[in-house]
Amino acid sequence: MYEIKFGELIYKCSPKPKPCRPHGLDRAWARPCLAAGIRWKTGDGQCIQIMGHPWLPRPWTFRPVRRPNSLSIGAKVSELLTEEHAWNVELIRKEFCDMDAKCILEIALPSRDTRDELIWHYDIKGKFSVRSAYRVAAELRQEGGCSWQEWNWNFIWNSKVVPKVAMFVWRCTRDALPTTNNLKRRGAAVEEGCGRCDEKKEDTLHVLNHCTFARLVWALSGIQWSSIARPGKNVEEWFRGVHKELGGIDWVFFLTLCWAIWGSRNQYLFEGRNMEAQEVVWCARRMCEAIGAVTIQFVV
């Protein structure tokens, strides 16, 4: 039985353990495969966080592409329902971009006494099967090209990062983050460019490396600059290069700091909070300290 943990949730994808591991379904990429197929099915909406959980029937992230305009960060899907257990159309169209609103309003709601449940998206009954997992894996491989086989996912999953950072890193390498470049490509009506600097295009590599704010964060991080300064053609190539030079605690801190930079970007754009670069560094440091990585040196 494969289990994948996101924050405090454990997604169980098979009710019974299998007697053997299917050929080719090794743990190095089983988690990304499962993450690409597991989502919540909306019942009463009490268990599902709007931005924190996968719940929209739209691969691969199953999440809204933009944060709601005024709902709190931890808002639940139940807040989008009326007392009659129907979608609050006016609220949804007010809070979400057109793409997300359309997707939400197309979700059929069950009776009000039905609980939310985790399902496998690629089965009509929501049940996980190895056969459907193979199909998902094949699509991921085709989407990612040969790099899927070349990249050793144990560098991510077996490192000491917390699960939400590991999932963030995987989304980076799959180019699945809602940057303005990706949103425009999906048809969302968003302004192009980086919200923090004058760059006209914003992709993942720009947010984490090229942006002037990111550069300041890396300068304050204490990580050897030569490891960061050669980003390569894309995020996956950058991660590979950094991993060759960094190991252990430094590698964990690097990945955690990437996650913190992305989080600060979202707070700046959607909450109007302009975190200082040093604050981002300390945020990543505290997370590393919580998992035992306490010997990192920082520029103060």
Q: What DSSP assignment string belongs to 33-74?
A: HHHTTEEEEPSSSSS-BTTTS--SS-TTT-S-SS--SSS-TT
Q: What is the pLDDT at residue 65? A: 73
Looking at per-residue pLDDT, the higher value among 270 and 23 belongs to 270
Q: What DSSP assignment string belongs to 216-247?
A: HHHHHH-S-HHHHS---SSHHHHHHHHHHH--
Q: Are 135 and 122 a contacting pair, CB within 8 Å?
A: yes
Global pTM value? 0.56
Looking at per-residue pLDDT, the higher value among 206 and 188 belongs to 206
| Mean of per-residue pLDDT scores for the chain | 79
Does pLDDT of 255 surpass 90? yes
CB proximity list for 109: less than 8 A, separation 6 or greater: 42, 81, 85, 86, 87
Looking at per-residue pLDDT, the higher value among 266 and 8 belongs to 266
- pLDDT tens-digit series, residues 118-153: 999 988 899 988 888 877 777 666 655 444 444 555
CB atoms within 10 A of CB 31: 21
Looking at per-residue pLDDT, the higher value among 115 and 245 belongs to 115
Q: Which of 133, 150, 113, 95 is nearest to 4 (CA)?
A: 133
Domain ranges of the chain: 3-138, 153-189+199-290
Torsion sign across C-alpha atoms 264, 270, 271, 273: positive
Q: What is the pLDDT at residue 234? A: 85
State the distance between the two ends of the chain, measured CA to CA, in whole angstroms.
Answer: 46
In sequence order, what are the beta bridge partners of 40?
Answer: 118
- pLDDT tens-digit series, residues 76-99: 999 999 999 999 999 999 998 888
